[in-house]
Amino acid sequence: MARHPETDLVPYLRGELAPAERERVARHLEECPDCKQDTELLRDLIGNLAHFVGQPPEVNWARYRAELHEKLEARRARIAWWRQPTPLALSASIAGVLLFLAVWGGRELTKTPDTIGPDEIVMAQDLGLLQELPTVERLDLLEDFEVLRNLDGLASDHQG
Amino acid sequence: MEPSDEALCERVARRDEAAFDLLVSRYQERAYRLAWSILRNAEDARDVSQEALIRLYETAGSFRGRSKFSTWFYRILVNLCLDHKRKHKWWKLWVRDDDDDRSNTILDRQPAPVNDPVDKLSREETLKALGSAVDRLAPRQRAAVLLRVQEDMATYDIARVLKCSEATVRVHLHRALATLKKTVEKR
């Protein structure tokens, strides 16, 4: 038996299928009791669903239309306000300011940063000292010798 | 002879207020009923259907006549309803919807009751369950079912309203009705 034409059953009941499709579904229903039963259930369900869905609460249609026209007027007024010269000029000014900020900010961002800052200049001046590094190291050593030489004095100071 | 909806829409595009009023009087009830069926809230249905009519006024010039006017208008309306449901979904999770009309519609609006009290009870329970099942359908499935059963729209037109293929509409209808059928069979 061919596949069950599940999704074709609703269009079949409404008579929407093309003749060949309709024929195929009808033939299937003759051979398949399950699909035939399903089709009957669907027919009842579709027929009764409108009742199940029910009716909405009553509406005062004159008031409904009055509200509708009020809303439409409000919408028109809002659109008209935007089309007035003042809001247009205001929008144009804001757009201009934003554009200026965007361009100016962009330029600031694209500026190349200073490669040598004041700290670096000071450090560069001190570079000469580094050239004398062996001497400086030796000075540290001499300083250490001085401490050693005065070690007795330090000890007496500590005791006193 | 009465002017067609399409002819009236052309006149609305030229800002003919009388044509707009005529279209409103033709579609206000259908728009409100369909919006209510999807949203299940009278106030929301009134607002959304009015918004759809305002959009009709504003965008009448974009109606090209490729489809029926009703299909074009229902597309605006159903999209607004689905958008409304999407936007309010998170809110309804937190706030109990006391204004929701679903609790008293299914039973209150049924035809004359059956005489046998047992039958009546069983029927009422089935209707209640079915009503809840309709409410629980996915929004697009529900819209497809309502367009079919309330507006008696063809699959082709439902597809144009929901902006999807006819095959997708068939799947929506099949799944929705299968869910509802199960609800009936359980009873």
Q: Residues B120-176: pLDDT tens digits?
A: 667 777 777 777 888 889 989 999 999 998 888 999 999 999 999 999 999 999 999
Regarding whether A94 and A73 lie in a shared domain, the answer is: yes
Does A137 map to a domain?
A: no
Q: Is B176 on the interface with A (CB under 8 A)?
A: no
A117 in a structural domain: no
pLDDT, tens digit (0-9, with 9 covering 90-100), for B92-105: 544 444 445 544 44
Q: Does residue A95 belong to any structural domain of this protein?
A: yes
Q: Residue B68 — left, alpha, or beta (φ > 0 → left; ψ -120 to 50 → alpha)?
A: beta
How far is Cα B49 from Cα B23, in angstroms, rounded to an integer?
Answer: 13
Say how many domains are in chain A: 2
Q: How far is the C-alpha of B39 from the C-alpha of A57, rounded, in Å?
A: 13
Q: Which pLDDT does position B105 carry in this prediction? A: 40
* Shared domain check, A99 and A76: yes
CA distances from B175 to B50, B158, B181 (A): 31, 15, 10
The Cα–Cα gap between B175 and B171 comes to 6
8 Å CB contact between A13 and A39: yes
Listed in sequence order, the residues at least 6 apart from A22 whose beta carbon sits closer than 8 Å to its beta carbon are A12, A15
The answer to whether residue A1 is domain-embedded is no
B66 to chain A, closest Cα gap in Å: 20
Tell me whether residue A98 is in a domain: yes
Q: Which domains does chain B have, with CATH numbers?
A: 1-96 (1.10.1740.10), 106-187 (1.10.10.10)
Instruction: Give the pair of three-digit tokens for residue B174.
Output: 């099949």
Task: Check if the interface score ipTM surpasses 0.90.
Answer: no
Per the domain annotation, does A82 fall within a domain? yes
User: Average pLDDT of chain B?
Assistant: 83
pTM: 0.66
CA distance B128 to B92: 21
Tell me if A25 is assigned to some domain: yes
Same domain, A48 and A67: no
Cα distance from N-terminal residue to C-terminal residue, chain B: 51
Please tell me if residue A41 touches chain B, with a CB cutoff of 8 Å.
yes
Interface test mutation site (partner A, options B149, B156, B181, max chain A beta carbons within 10 A): B149
- Domain of A71, in residue numbers: 61-110
Are A23 and A39 contained in the same domain? yes
Same domain, A24 and A49: yes
| Cα gap A150→A26, rounded to integer Å | 120
Tokens, residue A1: 């038996």
Using a CB-CB cut-off of 8 Å, the residues of chain A touching B101 are 56-57
Q: Is residue A130 part of a domain?
A: no
CB B26 within 8 A of CB B39: no
Indicate the residue type of B135: D
Provide the token pair at A140.
């540290």
